[in-house]
Structure 1
Amino acid sequence: MKLPRGLRALRERNYVLYLAGQFTSQLGSWAEQTAVAWILYELTNSPLLLGLSGLARAVPMIGLTLIGGAVADRVPRRALLLLTESAMLVLSLAVGLLALGGRLEFWYLYVLSFASGALSAFSVPARQAMFAGLVPRSAMQSAVTLNAVAVRSGALIGPSLGGVALAYGGYALPFLVNAATFLAMLLALAAMRLPPAPRSDASSLRAGLWAGMTGGLSFVWRNPLLKVALGLEVVSGLFGHNVTLITIIARDVIATGPEGLGLLLSALAAGALLAMVVMVAVEVERHVHVILAAGSVYTVLLAAFALSPWFGLSMILLFVLGAADGAWAVTRNSLAQLLVPDELRGRVMSVVVLATRGSAPLGRLQGGFVAGLVGGPAAVLFGAAVIGAAVLRSWRLRLPSGAAA
């Protein structure tokens, strides 16, 4: 059967298995993240302590992601993922059992965030490098877009699932749900039929870990298109929307409960998912221009969300903001995957992960700190102003011409 251009990655059995496991795993992860944010804020009533969970996750991500990328290019990626996913399953199960027994303390959630961040520093670069190797180059944009659809679909359903689980099943259920969803990725990895991993040459094995870590950074630094795309990603991660700010506004401004928070986060993911579904049928050529246009729209919508006092309007704004963010994310990842050679894929994707996953938890800390000083709406407005300035500066840069620009 001939598939449309945007679905050509689905011809590959291994990729379909990966996609199913990725979606289910993301579903549980978002349910757990929503629960962690609500539980921390409920137990501490402090925006700063809520934001500190982001710092707990960011520190190991920033410190270990480049190492994780170097490791992903040196060891079998499936074996690495089997190890990291199993460890994360045990972590979520342990916290769920503690909550079930009524022994959950708020600082346990910092430990969970730190340990999850450390494991993600190895897991995410390996995932990013692995799925790109499951399809031919002609299906790369299809693979990137469908992977993003799977992630955002999990982000669409997961927060509402987490909110409902928290409201009706108590503190324990979201963590137990997340532990169960890791099984899907483990089963998918076990079912894949992969060729033997190529043996590394002697020079590669002799090269130090430091050289492996810096290889990805060096590639990105020499590529002006990637520098602009990832520079904007860092700024948006530090100053854009995040679970901390949305939680604060949901409870303190809109006056809704955990179910309402789940719906707000699901609206955000629904918008991103819609944009990604549209992009399945669209062949993007001028990647950086799409990123800058999406960034401009994102800035305006973020400022509007900061000023909205109504639940319905906030849901609509987050839906459209999610669409802009989704287009931004798919285009960025497509650009990176198309530009990088396979032997550097793990290391370069670790830089992408560092820019996205490393900056976002720090953004939660920054958002919680500023919100504690001036309130949630003012903190969001401040972030919109910083992102707008960065996008405006990037529009003024002279970038090399070509299809990717």
Structure 2
Amino acid sequence: MEKVLSKKRLQIPQVVAALKHRNFRLFWGGQCISLIGTWMQNVAQSWLVLELTRSAFWLGVVSTFQFLPMTLFSLYAGTLIDRFPKKKMLIFTQAGLMTLAFILAVDTWMHTVKLWHVLILAVLLGVMNTFDMPARQAFMIELVGEADLMNAIVLNSSIFNAARVVGPSVSGLVIAKLGIALCFLINAVSFLPVITGIWLIRLPKPVQPASRRCQEGIWQGIKAGLDFVRKTPGIFVPLALLAVINVFAFNFNVLVPLYAKNVFHAGAKTYGFLMGANGFGAIIGSVILAIRSAHGPKMRSLFIAAAGVSIFELLLVPAKSYTLAYLLLGITGLWVITFTTNCNSLLQVQSPPNMRGRVMSIYTLVFGGLVPLGSFLSGSMAHAWGAPAALGLGALISLAFTVALVIWRPSLLKQEISFKWQD
């Protein structure tokens, strides 16, 4: 009994090991507030587009515009991230995101908002996120060091998914009771804590001088990053699987509002709760991952999670009950967080410090930059055949690719991952 209690006491700190670092606490605390606002804006923007156009096609187009900059500029962004201080870059990007949210809030509140306004702001939002997302990922190791990186990634994912529960649910209620504009305003204000937290972070002077980091040309840097990924199977395979799953299975922002409106014949409140269900399942997955973070990422877990996402999306296709849909979206969310956390961790633990910004920019390119393609395909299919058919076809393609990879390289399921990088 004493050994069991001792083991439990050792395990509890491991769940939140990264929080012992002051810099990570400042960053993480700000994100706890800001991400709720981000999810409120995501839901409100999709609902705004539906109100302006009543079209599944335009919902996909707006999502395409928002993620198109990642497709075009992610590789360039990664090279710059490896050259310049990430702290300053993040303050700039977060301030830019706050400004864009405030502009959309005022435009909507004054009832002057047009579809083309939303499209322009979506592009600008995408430009900011193209630099912000990989910078945040690569910044993590500077906050916690090598030993607690996996736990930091899990904790960061946990608040992201907690926000997926709180943000959409609150957004649905706010839209129904107070209007869409307030969601955008709340998001704008929510950036203040994270900007303050990043400003207060204290980092040691960089080991590598800026002049040395800038010796390599931009295109040389991009080519070096792509060559590294291509020659490292432990990084290339997760990225290839992520590409297919992201295009065909991760289209919740396009398809869930259509489920709420066309399948369940409901409004913004139901839409918010359905999006929240996905996040609630991801929270449960985050807790499990945090407990197991000391064991590191597993290639086998990546493939199992990819299959889990696909299978539970297929089960959602014939669902006519709101309760059943809520449950299935929750379970899908659990598999989504398991997949993305293992993928993110596999990339970081196998990337050397001088490549991490570029590797994570390629991750951003695949994770965010391919969203335009996925959004366009799912929006077009939903427009032609309905949301359930679009969801089912995407899930089938994802499952087929996952099974094909396992048949082609069964040894991947047994591959052990070690921490290869050294600072």
| Aligned 8 A contact 1:216 1:350 in 2 | no
RMSD value, Cα: 1.7
Task: Report what 2:394 is aligned to.
Answer: 383
Question: Is 1:142 equivalent to 2:151 in the alignment?
Answer: yes
Q: 1:299 is matched by which residue type in structure 2? A: S
Whole-angstrom CA distance in 2 between matches of 1:98 and 1:397: 52
Whole-angstrom CA distance in 2 between matches of 1:262 and 1:355: 27
Question: Is 1:279 equivalent to 2:289 in the alignment?
Answer: yes
Matched residue SS, 1:31: helix
**The one of 222, 229, 233 aligned to 2:231:** 222
Q: 1:171 is matched by which residue type in structure 2? A: I
**The one of 288, 301, 314 aligned to 1:290:** 301
Q: 2:34 is matched by which residue type in structure 1? A: S
Task: Report what 1:371 is aligned to.
Answer: 382
Task: Report what 2:6 is aligned to.
Answer: none
Whole-angstrom CA distance in 2 between matches of 1:351 and 1:284: 25
Whole-angstrom CA distance in 1 between matches of 2:274 and 2:200: 36
Whole-angstrom CA distance in 1 between matches of 2:326 and 2:216: 51
Matched residue SS, 2:264: coil
Whole-angstrom CA distance in 1 between matches of 2:90 and 2:127: 13
How many corresponding residue pairs?
405
Deviations 1:337-391, CA, capped at 9 Å, x for gaps: 1111112111111111111111234312211111111111111111011101111
Matched residue SS, 1:159: helix
Whole-angstrom CA distance in 2 between matches of 1:66 and 1:116: 17
Q: How does 1:2-401 map onto structure 2 within 5 Å?
A: 4-200=13-209, 202=211, 204-240=213-249, 241-282=251-292, 283-285=294-296, 287-398=298-409, 399=411
Whole-angstrom CA distance in 2 between matches of 1:216 and 1:154: 32
Deviations 1:134-178, CA, capped at 9 Å, x for gaps: 112111111111111121111121111221221122121111011
Unmatched tracts of structure 1, length 5 or more: none
Matched residue SS, 2:147: helix
| Aligned 8 A contact 1:53 1:365 in 2 | no
Percent of residue pairs bearing the same amino acid type: 28
Deviations 1:21-68, CA, capped at 9 Å, x for gaps: 222221111100101111111210111111001110121111111111
Pair 368,9 (structure 1): closer, same or farther in 2 beyond 3 Å: same
| Aligned 8 A contact 2:86 2:139 in 1 | yes
- Cα offset, 1:5, TM superposition: 2.0
Whole-angstrom CA distance in 2 between matches of 1:239 and 1:106: 26
TM-score by length of 2: 0.92
- Cα offset, 1:201, TM superposition: 6.3
Task: Report what 2:3 is aligned to.
Answer: none
Q: 1:127 is matched by which residue type in structure 2? A: R
- Cα offset, 1:214, TM superposition: 2.8
Q: Which moved more, 1:300-309 or 1:191-200?
A: 191-200
Whole-angstrom CA distance in 2 between matches of 1:126 and 1:286: 21
Q: 2:417 is matched by which residue type in structure 1? A: A
| Aligned 8 A contact 1:48 1:372 in 2 | yes
Whole-angstrom CA distance in 2 between matches of 1:138 and 1:196: 20
TM-score by length of 1: 0.96
Q: Which moved more, 1:80-89 or 1:393-402?
A: 393-402
| Aligned 8 A contact 2:278 2:329 in 1 | yes
| Aligned 8 A contact 1:242 1:364 in 2 | no
Q: 2:132 is matched by which residue type in structure 1? A: S
Matched residue SS, 1:137: coil
Q: 4+ runs of 1 displaced by more than 6 Å?
A: none
